[in-house]
Amino acid sequence: MSSAACIFCKIVKGDIPSLKLFESDKVLAFLDINPLSRGHALVIPKHHGEKLTDIPDDALTEILPVVKKLVKATGAENYNVLQNNGRIAHQEVDHVHFHMIPKPNAEEGMSIGWPQQKTDFDKLNALLAEIKAKM
């Protein structure tokens, strides 16, 4: 998707209204219009990119500090910070975005499963070496 067709790029440009919480040269934060809980917000880099690896490092420097400010401003004691990449990973908008989702109780906020796999330490150590060699 080109940035011209991107709904978040249109929000950044002001072509589509948003419930803006914070804005800087690099970042925009706004309330989610389909929230999972009170205070559910999105923080996006203004630089368009579909996946995290498409965004230059310098365009990401303010993301987590802004998320932290939102957590404090909402008073959330329990919360999730979520960032999805790709359809199979539940990304719905093709522009990098981070959700800050307050979790005030068992019913509201994000609900997830955690299907752990049995650990094979030989395979895990091989994976460790493979990833470290590429970093």
Q: How many residues does the chain have?
A: 135
Q: With b meaning 16 or more CB within 10 Å and e meaning fewer, what string describes 85-119?
A: eeeeeebeebbbbbbbbbbbeeeebeeeeeeeeee
Considering the candidates 40, 47, 48, 97, report the single residue annotated as catalytic.
Answer: 97
Active site residue 97: yes
Catalytic residues: 97
